[in-house]
Amino acid sequence: MPAVLAHRLKPTPTQPITAKLLRTEVLAGLVVALALIPEAISFSIIAGVEPQVGLFAAFTMAVTIAVVGGRPAMISAATGAVALVVAPIAREYGLGHLLAAVILAGIFQVVLGALGVARLMRFVPRSVMVGFVNALAILIFMAQVPEVRDVPWPVYPLVAAGLTLMVLFPRVTKAVPAPLVSIVILTVITIAAGIAVPTVGDKGALPSSLPTTGLPDVPLTLDTLTLLAPYSLAFALVGLMESLMTAKLVDDITDTHSGKTRESVGQGIANIVTGFFGGMGGCAMIGQTMINVRSGARTRLSTFLAGAFLMVLCIGFGPVVSDIPMAALVAVMVLVAVGTFDWHSIAPATLKRMPLGETTVMLVTVAVVVSTHNLAIGVVAGSITAMVIFARRVAHLVNVSAVTDPDGGQVVYAVTGELFFASSNDLVYQFDYAGDPDHVTIDLTDAHVWDASTVAALDAVTTKYQKRGKTVEIIGLNEHSARMHDTLSGELAGTH
C-alpha cells in the first residue's frame, strides 16, 4: 500500500473506556437498534425483498463499519436511497443479482476510496451543507407522516406522550437516553392497557436466525458484469456521498475529525461483507446516526452494539420487539428531525445578513432533496448552483482600464481580476481596436490566467490588432499564467 494511502487509512484516535462511557455507548446502541428494525424492514419493502434482507444488511453493515470505518459513532445500515437504486435489479432479476450488485458496488467504493474520492468533499460549500442538514430533517419528518395517517386515535396521544417524555426526562437525569425511556414506557402502557395500535411487528416478520454466508446465485459472465455495473456504480456513488456528508455532519456536531478516505474504503468493505451475508447493502444512516450522537455516543462501540443488539432483539426477543408501538419510534424520529434542522439558517436576522446567492444555494439543495428524496442528487444540484453563482460573481470582478501615453504613441491596458472562461469571454470587447495607436501593451500584473479560454481570448485580441497593422505586447504575467500562455498561445485557432 502506498505510504500516502496508508497515512489516510490510519486508525482514528479512540477514547479510553470508562464505566460512564460504556453505559452511554451501550444504551445509545440499544436505542439505535430499536429504531433500526422498522426502518430496515421498510427499506426492504422499497427494494422489493424480504424483511430479513434489510435486517441482515443493518446487522452486517453496522458491525463491519464499526471496525473498518473512519467515523466513530456513525451508523451504517440499509437506507432508502440505496433501496431505490437496487429496487429495479431485485424486481427484474431477483435476489441473486441484487446481492452480486451489492458486492460489486462495494468493490467500486473501495477503489474510489483508495483513489481519494473523499477529497472532493472540499468542493461542497457551507450553504450546501446547511441545505443538506435541513433537507435531511424534513425527510426524516416526512417519513413519519404515513405512520400517523389513517391510524387508530390512540396513536396521537402516544406520540405526544413520547415527545413530552423525551423533552422532560433529561431534566431528571441524563444517565439513561430519553428515547429509550420513552420507548419502554409507551410499550408497557400499550401492552398493559391492551391498546390496539400499529406495532413494529406489523412491518414484517423478524428473522429467527443469524445470516449465513454464500456466493450470489448468478452466472459469472461478462454479460452479468455489464448488466450490474451501472446499478453498482450508482449505488457506490450515492452511498459514498451520503456517508461522507453524514461523516462531515458528525464531525461538526462532535467537534472531532474523522478519516474520510478510511470511511470510503470501509463503506466498500462493509457492502462486500453484506452482499456475501445476504443483505441488501447500504450506507450511513443519517437519522439513526443523529439518534446515536444525540444520545451521547462518541465511539465505535455504539455502532457495533447497534448491529449486535439488532440481531439479539430480533432472534431472542422477537415477540417483545414486535409489540413496540410505532408511535414510540415516530416520536423519537420527530424529535430527531426537530433537533437536526438548522433553525438559525432560516431566522429573519440570518436571512437579512446572508448574501442572496448563499440562501439560493441552500434552498435549491433543500428543494431538490425533498422533491427527489435523494440526498446525493440534492448535494450535486446545490454544489453546481454554488459554482455557477460563484463564477458569475467572480466574472464581474474583472476590470480593464486604458492609459494612453501623452505623445499618443502607445496605450497600456491594465487588466485586473481572475481570468477564466466566465470572465474572459467579454475580454475581447474591452479594447478600442480602431482608435488605439500602433503599439498596445496589455498589463496582466494584477490578473491571473486560469484556463485555455483566457489564452484564446488574448490570442483573439492580438489577432484583431494585427489585422489593423498594430503590435501587441503582453506583460506582467505571473509564473503560472506565463507558462499556460506560452504553452497554448497560437494553438487554439478557431475557438473565437
Give the span between the Cα atoms of 193 and 191, in whole angstroms.
6
d(CA 164, CA 62) in angstroms, rounded, equals 30
Residue 69, classed as helix, strand or coil, is: coil
Cα distance between residue 276 and residue 451, in whole Å: 47
pLDDT of residue 421: 82
The DSSP annotation for 251-284 comes to HHHHT----HHHHHHHHHHHHHHHHHTT----EE
- Alpha carbons 182 and 331: distance in angstroms, whole number: 9
User: What angle, 0 to 180 degrees and rounded to 10, lies between the N-to-C axes of helices 95-114 and 222-254?
Assistant: 60
DSSP 221: S
Per-residue pLDDT of the chain (496 residues; tens, 9 = 90+): 444 444 455 555 556 668 888 999 999 999 999 888 888 887 887 788 888 999 999 999 999 999 999 999 999 999 877 887 888 899 899 999 999 999 999 999 999 999 998 888 777 888 988 898 888 788 888 888 888 999 999 999 999 999 999 999 988 887 788 888 899 999 999 999 999 999 988 888 888 899 999 989 999 899 999 999 999 998 998 889 889 989 988 998 899 999 999 999 999 999 999 999 999 999 998 888 988 998 899 999 999 999 999 999 999 998 888 898 999 988 988 887 888 788 988 999 888 888 888 999 999 999 998 898 777 788 889 989 998 888 777 767 678 888 877 776 789 999 988 888 887 877 888 898 988 888 999 999 989 998 888 999 999 999 999 999 999 999 999 999 999 888 888 876 554 4
**Cα–Cα distance list, 185 to 156, 162, 180, 290 (Å):** 16, 9, 9, 22
**What pLDDT, on a 0 to 100 scale, did the predictor assign at position 403?**
81
Contact, 203 vs 51, CB < 8 A?
A: yes
Q: Which residues contact 140 (CB under 8 A, 6 or more apart)?
A: 286, 287, 290, 333, 336, 337, 340
Concatenating the DSSP letter of every residue in 314-347 gives: HHHSHHHHHTSBHHHHHHHHHHHHHHHS-GGGGS
Residues present in the chain in total: 496
The whole-angstrom separation of Cα 428 and Cα 439 is 17
Can you give the pTM of this predicted structure? 0.73
